[in-house]
C-alpha cells in the first residue's frame, strides 16, 4: 500500500455513505418544512354538456365553471416555524455525527496503515532470525557429525528453528490481518492501479 492514499477512498465506506444520505434527507426535510410555511393555491376548471332534460332549466346545453381558491396556512401558534427549527437542529446533529464518523474512519485507516507497516517490518526481522536459526542448525549438525558437539546442541538448534518458524507464521498472520483491516477501513475494492482515479 503506497503513501498518500486519496481521502475520496473513504466515500465508499457504507457507514459514511449512509451518514451522507441522512444529511441529504435532513436538508430535504428542512426544505419541506419551509415549504409548509407558504400558502397553497388551488385552481380548478370544468366544462360539460347538459342533457336534453336540462334544456328547460338553462338556455344552453353547455356549462363552464371556473373557480379559484387560495388556501392560507394558519400558523397554529408558530408550530410550522418550530418544525423548521426542529429540522435544522436535526440537521446540525447529523452534521456532527457525520464529522465523528469521518474522524473514526480516518483513525481506522491510520491504525490499519500503522499496523501494516509495523507488521511488515516485524516480518522482515523474523525472516532474518529464521535465517540465522537455519544457519545455527546447519552448523550444529555439522559439529555433531564431526564429533565436536553432542546431540543436545542439535536438538536445541532445532527447537530454536521451530520457534522461529512459529513466530514468523504469527507475524505473517498479523501482517495479513492488518491488510484485511486496511481493506475494510477503506471501504473495500481498492487497488494501487485505481488509487489516482
CATH number for the domain including 17? 1.20.1600.10
Asked if the structure places residue 193 within a domain, the reply is no
Strands (DSSP E) found in the chain = 40-49, 62-71
Higher pLDDT, 72 or 176: 176
Tell me which of 24-33, 58-67, 182-191 is least confident: 58-67
Segment (H or E) for 56 = none
- Distance of alpha carbon 23 from alpha carbon 142, whole angstroms: 72
Asked if the structure places residue 75 within a domain, the reply is yes
Asked if the structure places residue 58 within a domain, the reply is no
Residue 162's pLDDT is what?
Answer: 98
Q: Are 75 and 81 in contact (CB under 8 A)?
A: yes
Residue 61's pLDDT is what?
Answer: 46
Residue 43's pLDDT is what?
Answer: 54
Instruction: Provide mean pLDDT across the span 117-142.
Output: 97
Structural domain total, the chain: 1
CB burial of 9-47 (b: ≥16 within 10 Å; e: otherwise) equals: bbeebeebeebbebeeebeebbeebeeeeeeeeeeeeee
Residue 197's pLDDT is what?
Answer: 41
Residue 188's pLDDT is what?
Answer: 78
pTM comes to 0.61
Is 16's pLDDT higher than 70? yes
Asked if the structure places residue 126 within a domain, the reply is yes
Other residues' Cβ atoms within 10 Å of the Cβ of residue 186:
21
Other residues' Cβ atoms within 10 Å of the Cβ of residue 109:
21
- Which DSSP category does 72 fall into? P
Other residues' Cβ atoms within 10 Å of the Cβ of residue 149:
17
Q: Which domain holds residue 136?
A: 8-36+68-188
In the chain, the largest separation of any two C-alpha atoms, in whole Å, equals: 137
pLDDT tens-digit map of 69-125: 444 455 555 777 888 888 889 989 999 998 998 888 889 888 999 999 999 999 999
The model's confidence at residue 57, banded by pLDDT at 50, 70 and 90, is low
Share of the chain above pLDDT 70, in %: 71
Is 195's pLDDT higher than 50? no
Higher pLDDT, 93 or 29: 93
Amino acid at each position: 500500500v503506497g503513501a498518500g492514499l486519496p481521502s475520496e477512498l473513504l466515500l465508499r465506506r457504507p457507514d459514511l455513505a449512509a451518514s451522507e444520505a441522512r444529511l441529504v434527507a435532513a436538508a430535504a426535510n428542512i426544505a419541506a418544512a419551509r415549504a409548509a410555511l407558504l400558502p397553497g393555491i388551488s385552481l380548478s376548471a370544468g366544462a360539460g354538456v347538459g342533457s336534453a332534460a336540462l334544456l328547460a332549466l338553462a338556455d344552453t346545453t353547455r356549462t363552464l365553471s371556473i373557480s379559484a381558491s387560495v388556501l392560507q396556512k394558519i400558523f397554529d401558534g408558530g408550530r410550522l416555524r418550530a418544525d423548521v427549527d426542529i429540522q435544522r437542529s436535526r440537521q446540525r446533529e447529523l452534521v456532527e455525527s457525520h464529522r465523528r464518523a469521518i474522524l473514526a474512519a480516518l483513525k481506522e485507516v491510520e491504525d490499519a496503515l500503522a499496523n501494516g507497516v509495523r507488521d511488515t517490518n516485524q516480518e522482515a526481522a523474523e525472516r532474518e532470525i529464521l535465517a540465522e536459526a537455519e544457519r545455527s542448525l546447519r552448523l550444529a549438525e555439522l559439529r555433531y557429525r564431526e564429533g565436536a558437539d553432542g546431540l543436545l546442541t542439535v536438538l536445541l538448534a532445532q527447537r530454536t528453528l521451530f520457534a522461529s518458524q512459529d513466530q514468523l507464521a504469527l507475524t505473517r498472520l498479523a501482517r495479513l490481518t492488518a491488510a484485511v483491516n486496511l481493506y475494510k477501513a477503506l471501504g473495500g475494492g481498492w487497488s494501487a492501479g485505481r488509487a489516482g482515479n
